[in-house]
């Protein structure tokens, strides 16, 4: 079974899996709804689940999606194009404080407040319509001498994409739901591509592998917790030099895995 919000991604998967027709099911939905998806399809438990998070090369390269800061397109960034909220709506409709919070929380951008201020100033004159419009604002807002490595708009585009698609809340719900549907001995594997995702995965896996999840200040366990999982990756697995050379976009990938020990 494959679950994805993006119809284009599912169509590409169906084409690649033609020789296995009849042995797979593709579902266009948010994986946070894994409980209802499994119920609808009559699936009680599975032996394994793999989450490959973030933005795919297909989405970056597909015209008209508005994900890339390297190509001029209308600001969009929706993984599911049937949902109403777009990056354009956020950039042109949210308050300065809300924009700064998004850039700080989801992009870990140190210039979040200044960039938000520049956006609000600009949209008073004209709406910020395209990716290029936004890139130019970010470049004006961040002093050249203070820029980090990489494109100055990278963190802003990441933050907007996460906000548009509610990615982090979806990830938490999806991981917990998928783990509950594992058989005993089943494995949950996650490939993440930035620190915000990886922190969530690491935290949830640690919770599943602990017997007690009570606050540390309590002198005695009150939760009656039972260890549910065994962590299989003490440290995240990262791509080899050969893989990074062959596929530079894999460079930031981190793989973590757990095995369910309580059915």
Any binding-site annotation on 76?
Answer: no
Q: Is 4 annotated as a binding residue?
A: yes
**Angle, alpha carbons 246-250-256 (nearest 5°):** 135
Helix axes 195-208, 167-180, angle to 10 degrees: 30
Residues contacting residue 52 through CB under 8 Å, at least 6 positions apart: 191
Consult the annotation and say whether 52 binds a ligand: yes
- 28 is known to lie in a ligand binding site: no
Residue of 162, 172, 138, 195 lying closest to 67 (CA atoms): 162
Cα separation of 188 and 172, whole Å? 13
Residue list for the binding site: 4, 31, 52, 59
Residue ranges at the known binding site for S-adenosyl-L-methionine = 4, 31, 52, 59
């Amino acid at each position: 079974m494959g679950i994805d919000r993006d119809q284009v991604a599912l169509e590409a998967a169906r084409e690649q899996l033609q020789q296995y027709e009849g042995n797979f099911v593709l579902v266009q939905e948010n994986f946070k709804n894994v409980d209802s998806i499994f119920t609808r399809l009559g699936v009680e438990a599975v032996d394994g689940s793999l989450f490959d998070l973030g933005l795919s090369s297909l989405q970056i390269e597909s015209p008209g999606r508005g994900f890339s800061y390297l190509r001029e397109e209308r600001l969009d960034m929706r993984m599911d194009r049937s949902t109403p909220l777009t990056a354009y709506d956020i950039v042109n409709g949210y308050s300065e404080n809300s924009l700064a919070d998004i850039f700080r929380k989801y992009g870990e951008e140190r210039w979040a407040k200044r960039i938000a201020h520049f956006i609000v100033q600009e949209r008073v004159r004209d709406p910020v319509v395209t990716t290029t419009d936004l890139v130019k604002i970010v470049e004006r807002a961040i002093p050249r001498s203070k820029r980090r490595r990489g494109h100055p708009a990278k963190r802003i585009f990441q933050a907007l994409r996460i906000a548009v698609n509610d990615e982090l809340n979806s990830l938490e719900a999806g991981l917990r739901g998928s783990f509950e549907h594992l058989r005993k001995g089943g494995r949950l594997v996650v490939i993440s591509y930035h620190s915000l995702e990886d922190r969530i995965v690491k935290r949830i896996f640690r919770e599943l592998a602990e017997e007690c999840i009570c606050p540390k200040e309590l002198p005695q366990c009150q939760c009656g917790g039972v260890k549910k999982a065994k962590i299989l990756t003490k440290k995240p697995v990262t791509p080899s030099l050969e893989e990074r050379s062959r596929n530079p976009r894999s460079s930031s990938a981190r793989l973590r895995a757990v095995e369910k020990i309580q059915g």
